[in-house]
Amino acid sequence: MKLMFASDIHGSLPAAERVLALFAQSGAQWLVLLGDLLYHGPRNALPEGYNPAQVAERLNDYAARIIAVRGNCDSEVDQMLLHFPITAPWQQVLLPTRRLFLTHGHLFGPDNLPTLAEGDVLVYGHTHLPVAEKRGEIFHFNPGSVSIPKGGFAASYGMLDEGLLSIKALNDNRVIAQVAINP
């Protein structure tokens, strides 16, 4: 299974359009959105091209191929604009040998892990910092932010392809980090 991950769009139309263009080219079956889709939140500056209504319209074009979780900036008003569910605090994707636990990162995250089995993958956003590594028995994967990157990193997204989790720069597809999850 090939998956694409994006987090923390925060209403940026240029970021959303870039993500959707990459998704269309990627061959991924699903676009996994890790929350904070439309609103920038009170702690963040307005991202480039802030246009939440247009971001919702563009995402709705791909509604049948999106798996999403709710971020701390997502609301029920946002859900009214979107044609795919965003109110679940977490989702799970089952792979043949492990589970991907999808969450935004404000409820479950590296400092508050859900119950996971050895080899499972915690997939989260929220921090806007890319992470692809194994910590103890659990893999941690955060694709960073497509609109408001932090820590000096480029805007980024993630891919799962043939057991390799990769974080790539949004503008040039340069690999920022990666970890193999297949034994």
Q: Domain coordinates of the chain in residue numbers?
A: 3-180
d(CA 99, CA 176): 23
> Percentage of the chain surpassing pLDDT 70?
99
Helix/strand/coil for 138: strand
CATH of 3-180, one of 3.60.21.10, 3.40.710.10, 3.60.15.10, 3.30.9.10: 3.60.21.10
Calculate mean pLDDT across residues 22-38: 98
- Reported as a single tens digit per residue, the pLDDT across 66-85 is 999 999 999 999 999 999 99
pLDDT of residue 183: 67
- Reported as a single tens digit per residue, the pLDDT across 127-159 is 999 999 999 999 999 999 999 999 999 999 999
Q: Strand 3-6 and strand 30-33: pairing?
A: parallel
Token pair for residue 162?
């043939």
Which pTM was predicted?
0.97
d(CA 166, CA 26): 13
Instruction: Give, to the nearest 10 degrees, the angle between helix 13-26 and helix 52-60.
Output: 20
